[in-house]
C-alpha cells in the first residue's frame, strides 16, 4: 500500500520499504542503505548473521521491479564503511539494473569515486532538480524543497493504556522531506515533529499518516 | 618448623595485636596445612582475611627457612575480590602480617584502577600476593606466556564468593580456575562466603562437581552468632504517608535524631539516584551537617570513595549515605547504626547490612528500616521475622553461559592459543558447563573461527584462526586489542567519565542518561550540581551549576525482586494483617500503624486472606486496569503478568502494557478485559505453562534485555572503553538492532537462544512460577470491580517501567491509536 503526496505540483509515492518514487522524473529515491555494514562488523569479529546481507539486495530489487524507474538516486550512505566483499554483491546487483543510478555522497560514503564511476554511477555532492534540492544531510535553502536522508527518522506513537509503538517514518515538513533508512541493520533517531509537520510511519505492508 | 610451631608463631602475633584467634580461623589454618581446598563461611568484618592469608605466609616460612634474608620472587598467591574498593583494605592487612613476621613477601594490586606503569612493572616481576578482580584475572590469561606467570602459584582465594556465585563474573572465575588447575600444579583453592541458602552448592561450583579438588575439600563455618535488632521508622501521623514513591524523603526529619544519637551511621539506599537525592536533601534541610555527612556510591571517583571510607574509619563522619557499594568488605568499627531506606528485597542482604554496625564483640547490631510507602510497612514486619528466624536465600549459579565461554576461548586464543582437545575437558569439569554437549562445543568453535556454522562466499569474518597444527589463535592485533578492552565490560552499560571543563575527574555515568540531556542542562551527580557543557568522545565535560532544578541520574539495575523466602514471609504478614483487621487489633507496631490504610482497602475492596486470590478492575483516564495480587515477588509477577496477558490476548486481539511490583501486577489496556471470560477459561492453569511462556516471551522485551549483556560479553557489540578514545564509529550498533537481526535471520544461534533460557532460569524462575500457579489454583478467586484505584493498587499503577504485549495486527493498532487521538 503506497501513499502519494503532492509537493510543489509534483507527485511522490512513498513505499512501505522506505523508498520514494518521483512520478514526473520517473526517479526512485532511496536513502541510507548502509550496504557492507554487516560484512564490516564480521570483518572486525562481530558475528552478525550473514543471511541479513542478501535481504538488502532482495528488497532493493523488489522496489525497483515495482516502480520500474528510469533513474535511481541514492541519497547518501549507500555503503557503510570501507570496501569489503559486499561490493562484489553490489556489482552483481548493478548488472541487472537498466536505470541510470546516481549517488549523493553521504558521510559514510568513503569508498573511492572511481569504483562508482566504473559501474556508471554518477556521483554528486548535491543535486538540484527544478525547485528540489536533493542532499544527504538535511539542509535549508531558500526557495528550495529539500529531500534528504541521514537522520534515520523513527517515530514513537503513543496510545491509551500507556501503549507505545516505535516505527520508521517519512518525516515531511513545509520545506523538507526526510526519508527513512532503507538498510536492514540500521538504527533510528526518534523525532519529535512540530505542529504542521507530517509523519508517515512504515510497517512491512503499509504507509500510514500518523501526525 | 612443624605445624604446631607455625601455629604458635601466628598465635603470638595475634597476642601482640591484643587479639585471640577465633576457632574458625585456626580450623582454616589447619585445613590449609593439610593441603585441603575449601569454602569458609564467615561474615564480613570477622577476620576472614587472616583465616587464609596467615597459613599462606606460614607455609612459605616453612618451605623457606631463610625467609628473613632471602626472597624468591614470583607469584605465589592470588586473592580475588569482586569489588575494586576492597583491595586496599586487604592489601594493608596482608602486608602488615607479612612484614611483621619478618618475611620479604610483597603484596600488589591489579585492577582496572592500576596504572599502566604499575602493570608494566608487574609484568616484569609479579608480587608474591596479587589482589585482583575476576576481570583482571581474565586479562592476565589474555597475556602471552601466562602459564609461566602462574606456574608456582600455591593458592587462590575467592573472597565474597556469594556475591560472584549467581553472576556471570562467577562463571569467569569458574573458567579461570579450570585453567589454573592445570597450569599451577600445587594449587589450593579456597572460597570465602557469607551465609547463603546453598552453601554446599557454592562449594561445588567453586571447586568443580565431583572433581579431585572437590573430593579433597572442606566446608568451615564461622558460626558467629550476632544479635540483630530491627526497628521500623513509623511517622506519627499515617495520613502523611504516601501510597507510592520510592524515596522515603517524607521521613527525613525522623532520621536526623537517629544520626545525632549515634557515633556513626550508614544510610543504605537501593539506587544511586536515591542516594544522591537523600544526600542533597539532608544537606539542604540540615546545613549544619556539612562536612559531617558524606556520600558513597559506585559511580563516584575512586579517590573520593577512598577518602569517604577512610573518614568513616577515623570517626570523622557522623553519617554516610550509600548504596550497595558499602555492602561488602571494608571493616568500619566506628559504625554504630544502620538505616535501610526502602525494602532491601532480600533477607541475606538485609542481614549483611545490619552486620555493618556494632563490630565490637558482644555488641548488638541495630538496623532501622524506613519504609518509602505505606504498604512497605508490611515488608518491615516481615523482615523482623526473617531476621529472627535467619531465613536466607539461595544464589542460583548460571548454567551454560555460552557468552562467557566465547569470551574465555577468545581470551585463550589471544594469549598462547589453545588446542580444543586440551581445553574441552577442563571446561566440562566446571559446574557451569558440566552439561555441554559435543555439538554445542563444535558450534562454539565454528562460531569463534567462522562466525557461523558454514563457510559462505563473500565472507570476511575474522576473529580466531586455526593454524596448521590445529592451534586456535588470534593473530590480528586489532581483534586482540578490542577483545582485551571488552573483558572488563561484563557488567556495565556504556559508561562515560564525567570531568570538569577545567580538569578534574568526578566519576562515571551511564551513557543513556547523558544522552537525554542537551548542553546547558543541569544535573546532580556525586552531590554536586553540574551543567553539561559538551560530550567529547567518551567524556562528559561539565561546569558547576547554580540552577536549582536539576535532573538526577537514575542508574539501571536498581530494581530487584523479592526472593521466594521473602515473599512467603510477606504473604504470612499479609494474612496476619487480614486476621487482625477483622479482629480490630494488631500484633506488630507496623501493622497497627497501617490500620487506616487497611480500613480503606477493606472498604473499597478486600484484604485477601490465606485462601483468597484478589483481582481488582477499574477505569481511569489511562484506560482499563486489571490488578492481580499473588504476593509472590516482582520476578514471579513479571512472568505471571506476561503469561496471563498472552492467554487473554488469544481470546481476542488486544494490546496490553504490564506493570508489576512485589505485591501484584497490572494489565492495562485501552479495551475492557472480559474478566468473567478470564475466570471461565481457567487462565491461571499450569497446563502448557512452558509453551505459553515461550510464546509470551517472544512478544515482550524480557529476552531482548537479556540479549544486551550476552551480545556485549560475547564480543558482538563493541562498546569502547571509558577514558579511551577509540575510532570505532563504524562498529557501533546497539544490541536491540542486533537482537532483531538474529530473530529474523539466525534464530537458532546458541547465543540468541541463551537470552530466552536465561530469562527462564534467572528472571522468571520457572519453579517458583509453578508453585505460585498451584497455590492460586487452590484459592478462591475474588474479583472486585472498583470505582477507583485502591490503596493496594496505587503503587502498582504508578510504576513507569512497563512491558508490552499485543495480539493485534500492527496496522490495526496504529489505526486504532489514531482514532483514539481524534476522540
pLDDT (tens digit per residue) in B586-597:
567 777 777 778
Q: How far apart are CA B777 and CA B773, in angstroms?
A: 6
C-alpha cell recorded at residue A174: 513545509
Question: In b/e form, how buried is each residue of B480-518, taking b as 16+ CB within 10 angstroms?
Answer: bebbbbbbbbbebbbbbbbbeeeeeebbbbbbebbeebe
Q: How confident is the model at residue B531 (pLDDT cuts 50, 70, 90)?
A: confident
Neighbouring residues of B497: CB distance < 8 A, sequence distance ≥ 6: B505, B507, B508, B509, B538, B539, B540, B722, B723
Q: How far apart are CA A108 and CA B334, in angstroms?
A: 59
Q: How far apart are CA B272 and CA B261, in angstroms?
A: 26
Of B378, B380, B379, B371, nearest to B235 by C-alpha is: B371
Of B212-221, B572-581, B742-751, give the lowest mean pLDDT range. B572-581
Hey, which residues does B613 pair with through a beta bridge? Answer: B781
- Backbone CA torsion sign across B11, B13, B17, B18: positive
Q: How far apart are CA B673 and CA B309, in angstroms?
A: 54
Q: What is the pLDDT of residue B302?
A: 76
What percent of chain B stands above pLDDT 90? Answer: 34
Q: Nearest Cβ partner of A162 from B668, B738, B814?
A: B668
Of B150, B62, B148, B75, nearest to B105 by C-alpha is: B75
Of A133-142, A149-158, B236-245, B743-752, give the lowest mean pLDDT range. B236-245
Q: How confident is the model at residue B821 (pLDDT cuts 50, 70, 90)?
A: low
The nearest alpha carbon in chain B to A83 belongs to: B460
- Residues 625-664 of chain B with CB under 8 A from chain A are 655-657
- Residues 480-519 of chain B with CB under 8 A from chain A are 482-483
Hey, which residues does B499 pair with through a beta bridge? Answer: B505, B541
Average pLDDT over residues B764-777: 85
Q: What is the pLDDT of residue B452?
A: 86
Interstrand relation of B129-132 and B293-296 (parallel, antiparallel or unpaired): unpaired
Residue B328 gets which letter from DSSP? S
CA B762 to chain CA mean position, Å: 12
Query: Taking a C-beta distance cutoff of 8 angstroms, is the pair B77, B107 a contact?
Result: no
Of B732, B757, B730, B754, nearest to B742 by C-alpha is: B754
Q: Which residue has the higher pLDDT, A26 or B684?
A: A26
Q: How far apart are CA B54 and CA B41, in angstroms?
A: 17
Give chain B's mean pLDDT. 84
Q: How confident is the model at residue A1 (pLDDT cuts 50, 70, 90)?
A: confident
Average pLDDT over residues A131-139: 96
C-alpha cell recorded at residue A151: 537522520
pLDDT digits (tens, 9 = 90+) for B79-121: 998 877 678 888 988 999 999 999 999 999 998 778 888 888 8
* Sheet order of strands, B522-525 included: B505-510, B495-500, B539-544, B528-536, B522-525
Q: Name every chain B residue with its beta carbon within 8 A of the beta carbon of A205.
A: 811
C-alpha cell recorded at residue A184: 536492514
Of A2-11, B412-421, B760-769, give the lowest mean pLDDT range. B760-769
What percent of chain B stands above pLDDT 70? Answer: 87
Q: How far apart are CA B11 and CA A60, in angstroms?
A: 80
Block residue for cell numbers 539506587: B271
Q: What is the pLDDT of residue B376?
A: 80
Distance from CA of A160 to the nearest CA of B (A): 5
Q: Would you call B725 exposed, middle or buried from its count of C-beta atoms within 10 A (0-12, 13-18, 19+)?
A: exposed
* B263 phi/psi in degrees, rounded to 5: -60, -50
- With 70 as the cut, is the pLDDT of residue B469 above it? yes
Q: How far apart are CA A93 and CA A89, in angstroms?
A: 6
* Other CB atoms within 10 Å distance of the CB of residue A8: 10
Q: What is the pLDDT of residue B497?
A: 75
Q: How confident is the model at residue B544 (pLDDT cuts 50, 70, 90)?
A: confident
Of B29, B34, B24, B37, nearest to B9 by C-alpha is: B29
Interface membership of B543 toward A (CB under 8 Å): no
First and final CA of chain A: distance in angstroms?
18
Q: What is the pLDDT of residue B89?
A: 80
- DSSP per-residue letters across B415-473: TT-B-HHHHHHHHHTSSTTTT--HHHHHHHHHHHHHSSSS--TT----S-EE-TTS-EE
The nearest alpha carbon in chain A to B447 belongs to: A47
- With 60 as the cut, is the pLDDT of residue B124 above it? yes
Q: Do B718 and A44 touch (CB under 8 A)?
A: yes
The nearest alpha carbon in chain A to B715 belongs to: A46
Neighbouring residues of B748: CB distance < 8 A, sequence distance ≥ 6: none
Average pLDDT over residues B173-202: 93
C-alpha cell recorded at residue A67: 516502480
The nearest alpha carbon in chain A to B456 belongs to: A50
Q: What is the pLDDT of residue B703?
A: 80
Give CA torsion, residues B194, B198, B203, B206, to 10 deg: -90
Average pLDDT over residues B207-224: 91
Q: What is the pLDDT of residue B389?
A: 74
Q: Which residue has the higher pLDDT, B735 or B645?
A: B645
The nearest alpha carbon in chain B to A77 belongs to: B730
* B353 phi/psi in degrees, rounded to 5: -65, -40
Q: What is the pLDDT of residue B725?
A: 40
Q: Do A157 and B814 touch (CB under 8 A)?
A: yes
- With 80 as the cut, is the pLDDT of residue B237 above it? no
Of B99-103, B487-491, B674-678, give the lowest mean pLDDT range. B487-491
Interstrand relation of A3-7 and B655-660 (parallel, antiparallel or unpaired): unpaired
- With 60 as the cut, is the pLDDT of residue B494 above it? no
Q: How confident is the model at residue B365 (pLDDT cuts 50, 70, 90)?
A: confident
C-alpha cell recorded at residue A189: 533517531
pLDDT digits (tens, 9 = 90+) for B715-734: 887 765 444 444 445 666 67
Interface membership of B727 toward A (CB under 8 Å): no
Q: Which segment, B161-175, B217-231, B520-534, is predicted with the most confidence on average?
A: B161-175
Query: Taking a C-beta distance cutoff of 8 angstroms, is the pair A72, A97 a contact?
Result: yes
- Residues 58-97 of chain B with CB under 8 A from chain A are none
Q: How far apart are CA A167 and CA A203, in angstroms?
A: 7
Q: Do A203 and B811 touch (CB under 8 A)?
A: yes
Q: What is the pLDDT of residue B290?
A: 87
Helix (H) or strand (E) holding B57: helix B48-63
Give the HSE-up count for residue B805: Cα atoms under 13 Å, Cβ half-sphere: 29
C-alpha cell recorded at residue B550: 536539576
Q: What is the pLDDT of residue B297?
A: 84
- Prediction pTM value: 0.81
Q: Which residue has the higher pLDDT, B555 or B788?
A: B788
Interstrand relation of B612-620 and B623-629 (parallel, antiparallel or unpaired): antiparallel
pLDDT digits (tens, 9 = 90+) for A41-78: 898 888 999 888 889 999 999 999 999 999 999 999 99
C-alpha cell recorded at residue A48: 552478525
Q: How far apart are CA B37 and CA B426, in angstroms?
A: 18
Block residue for cell numbers 535467619: B390
Of B356, B363, B344, nearest to B264 by C-alpha is: B356
Q: What is the pLDDT of residue B759?
A: 82
Q: Do A161 and B811 touch (CB under 8 A)?
A: no
Residue B578, CA distances (Å) to B21, B592, B611 in order: 50, 12, 12
Residue B39, CA distances (Å) to A62, B24, B206, B269 in order: 64, 12, 8, 30
Amino acid at each position: 500500500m503506497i501513499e502519494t503526496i503532492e509537493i510543489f505540483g509534483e507527485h511522490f509515492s512513498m513505499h512501505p520499504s522506505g523508498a520514494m518514487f518521483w512520478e514526473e522524473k520517473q526517479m526512485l529515491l532511496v536513502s541510507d542503505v548502509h550496504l557492507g555494514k554487516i560484512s564490516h562488523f564480521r570483518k572486525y569479529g562481530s558475528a552478525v548473521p550473514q543471511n541479513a546481507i542478501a535481504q538488502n539486495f532482495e528488497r532493493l530489487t523488489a522496489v525497483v521491479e515495482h516502480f520500474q524507474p528510469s533513474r535511481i538516486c541514492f541519497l547518501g550512505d549507500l555503503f557503510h564503511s570501507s570496501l569489503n566483499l559486499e561490493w562484489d554483491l553490489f556489482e552483481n546487483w548493478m548488472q541487472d539494473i537498466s536505470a541510470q543510478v546516481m549517488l549523493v555522497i553521504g558521510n559514510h560514503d568513503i569508498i573511492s569515486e572511481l569504483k562508482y564511476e566504473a559501474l556508471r554511477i554518477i556521483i554528486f555532492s548535491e543535486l538540484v532538480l527544478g525547485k528540489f534540492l536533493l542532499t544527504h544531510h538535511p539542509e535549508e535553502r531558500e526557495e528550495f524543497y529539500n529531500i534528504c536522508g541521514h537522520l534515520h527518522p523513527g517515530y514513537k506513537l503513543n496510545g491509551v493504556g500507556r501503549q507505545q509503538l516505535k516505527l520508521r517514518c517519512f518525516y515531511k515538513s513545509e520545506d523538507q522531506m526526510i526519508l527513512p533508512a532503507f538498510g536492514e541493520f540500521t538504527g533510528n533517531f526518534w523525532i519529535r515533529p512540530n505542529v504542521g509537520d507530517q509523519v508517515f510511519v512504515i510497517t512491512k505492508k503499509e504507509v500510514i499518516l500518523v501526525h | 618448623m612443624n605445624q604446631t610451631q607455625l601455629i604458635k608463631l601466628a598465635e603470638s602475633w595475634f597476642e601482640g595485636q591484643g587479639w585471640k584467634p577465633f576457632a574458625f580461623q585456626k580450623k582454616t589454618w589447619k585445613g590449609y596445612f593439610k593441603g585441603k581446598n575449601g569454602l569458609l563461611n564467615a561474615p564480613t568484618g570477622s577476620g576472614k582475611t587472616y583465616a587464609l592469608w596467615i597459613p599462606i605466609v606460614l607455609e612459605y616460612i616453612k618451605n623457606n627457612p631463610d625467609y628473613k634474608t632471602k626472597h624468591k620472587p614470583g607469584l605465589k598467591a592470588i586473592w580475588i575480590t569482586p569489588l575494586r574498593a576492597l583491595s586496599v583494605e586487604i592489601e594493608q592487612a596482608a602486608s602488615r602480617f607479612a612484614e611483621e613476621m619478618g618475611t620479604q613477601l610483597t603484596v600488589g594490586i591489579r585492577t582496572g584502577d592500576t596504572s599502566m606503569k604499575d602493570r608494566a612493572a608487574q609484568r616484569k616481576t609479579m608480587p608474591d600476593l596479587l589482589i585482583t578482580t575476576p576481570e583482571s584475572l581474565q586479562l592476565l590469561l589474555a597475556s602471552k606466556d601466562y602459564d609461566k606467570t602462574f606456574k608456582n602459584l600455591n593458592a587462590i582465594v575467592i573472597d565474597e564468593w556469594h556475591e560472584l556465585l549467581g553472576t556471570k563474573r562467577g562463571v569467569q572465575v569458574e573458567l579461570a580456575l579450570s585453567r589454573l588447575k592445570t597450569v599451577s600444579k600445587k594449587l589450593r583453592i579456597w572460597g570465602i562466603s557469607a551465609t547463603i541458602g546453598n552453601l554446599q552448592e557454592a562449594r561445588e561450583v567453586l571447586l568443580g562437581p565431583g572433581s579431585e579438588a572437590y573430593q579433597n575439600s572442606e566446608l568451615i563455618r564461622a558460626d558467629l552468632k550476632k544479635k540483630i535488632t530491627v526497628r521500623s521508622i513509623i511517622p506519627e501521623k499515617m495520613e502523611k504517608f504516601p501510597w507510592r514513591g520510592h524515596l522515603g524523603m517524607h521521613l527525613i526529619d525522623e532520621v536526623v535524631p537517629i544520626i545525632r544519637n549515634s557515633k556513626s551511621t550508614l544510610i543504605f539506599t537501593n539506587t544511586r539516584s536515591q542516594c544522591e537525592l537523600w544526600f542533597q536533601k539532608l544537606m539542604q534541610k540540615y546545613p549544619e551537617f556539612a562536612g559531617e555527612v558524606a556520600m558513597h556510591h559506585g559511580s563516584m571517583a575512586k579517590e573520593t570513595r577512598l577518602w569517604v571510607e577512610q573518614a568513616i574509619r577515623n570517626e570523622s563522619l557522623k553519617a554516610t549515605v550509600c548504596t550497595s557499594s558499602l555492602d561488602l568488605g571494608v571493616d568500619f568499627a566506628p559504625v554504630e547504626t544502620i538505616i535501610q531506606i526502602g525494602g532491601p528485597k532480600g533477607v541475606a542482604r538485609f542481614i549483611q547490612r545490619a552486620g555493618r554496625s556494632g563490630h565490637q564483640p558482644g555488641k548488638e547490631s541495630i538496623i532501622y528500616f524506613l519504609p518509602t510507602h505505606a504498604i512497605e510497612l508490611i515488608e518491615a514486619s516481615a523482615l523482623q521475622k526473617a531476621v529472627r528466624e535467619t531465613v536466607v536465600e539461595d544464589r542460583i549459579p548460571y548454567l551454560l553461559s555460552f557468552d562467557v565461554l566465547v569470551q574465555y576461548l577468545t581470551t585463550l586464543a589471544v594469549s598462547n592459543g589453545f588446542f580444543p582437545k586440551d581445553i574441552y575437558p577442563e571446561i566440562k569439569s566446571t559446574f557451569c558447563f558440566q552439561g555441554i554437549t559435543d555439538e554445542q562445543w563444535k558450534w562454539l568453535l565454528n562460531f569463534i573461527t567462522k562466525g557461523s556454522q558454514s563457510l559462505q562466499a563473500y565472507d570476511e569474518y575474522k576473529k580466531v584462526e586455526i593454524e596448521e597444527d590445529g592451534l586456535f589463535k588470534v593473530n590480528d592485533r586489532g581483534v586482540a586489542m578490542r577483545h582485551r578492552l571488552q573483558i572488563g565490560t561484563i557488567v556495565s552499560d556504556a559508561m562515560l567519565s564525567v570531568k570538569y571543563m577545567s580538569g578534574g575527574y568526578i566519576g562515571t555515568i551511564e551513557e543513556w542518561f547523558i544522552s537525554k540531556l542537551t548542553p546547558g542542562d543541569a544535573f546532580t551527580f556525586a552531590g554536586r550540581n553540574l551543567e553539561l557543557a559538551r560530550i567529547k568522545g567518551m567524556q562528559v565535560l561539565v561546569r558547576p551549576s547554580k540552577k536549582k532544578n536539576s535532573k538526577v541520574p537514575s542508574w539501571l539495575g536498581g530494581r530487584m525482586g523479592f526472593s521466594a523466602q521473602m515473599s512467603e514471609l510477606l504473604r504470612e504478614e499479609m494474612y496476619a494483617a487480614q486476621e487482625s483487621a477483622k479482629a480490630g487489633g494488631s500484633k506488630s507496631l507496623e501493622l497497627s500503624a497501617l490500620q487506616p490504610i487497611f480500613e480503606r482497602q477493606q472498604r473499597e475492596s478486600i484484604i485477601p486472606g490465606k485462601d483468597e486470590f484478589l483481582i481488582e478492575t477499574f477505569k481511569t483516564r489511562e484506560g482499563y486496569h486489571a490488578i492481580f495480587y499473588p504476593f509472590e515477588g516482582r520476578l514471579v509477577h513479571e512472568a505471571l503478568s506476561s503469561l496471563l496477558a498472552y492467554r487473554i490476548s488469544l481470546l481476542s486481539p488486544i494490546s496490553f502494557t504490564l506493570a508489576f511490583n512485589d505485591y501484584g501486577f497490572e494489565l492495562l489496556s485501552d479495551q475492557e478485559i472480559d474478566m468473567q471470560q478470564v475466570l471461565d477459561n481457567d487462565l491461571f492453569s499450569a497446563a502448557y505453562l512452558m509453551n505459553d511462556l515461550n510464546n509470551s516471551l517472544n512478544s515482550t522485551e524480557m529476552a531482548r534485555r537479556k540479549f544486551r549483556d550476552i551480545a556485549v560479553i560475547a564480543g558482538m557489540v563493541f562498546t569502547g572503553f571509558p577514558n579511551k578514545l577509540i575510532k570505532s564509529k563504524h562498529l557501533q550498533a546497539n544490541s536491540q538492532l542486533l537482537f532483531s537481526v538474529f530473530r529474523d535471520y539466525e534464530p537458532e544461534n546458541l547465543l540468541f537462544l541463551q537470552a530466552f533460557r536465561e530469562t527462564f532460569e534467572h528472571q522468571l524462575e520457572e519453579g517458583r512460577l509453578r508453585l505460585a500457579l498451584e497455590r492460586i489454583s487452590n484459592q478462591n478467586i475474588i474479583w472486585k470491580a472498583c470505582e477507583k484505584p485502591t490503596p493496594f493498587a496505587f503503587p502498582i499503577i504508578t510504576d513507569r517501567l512497563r512491558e508490552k504485549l499485543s495480539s493485534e495486527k500492527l496496522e490495526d493498532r496504529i489505526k486504532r491509536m489514531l482514532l483514539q487521538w481524534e476522540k
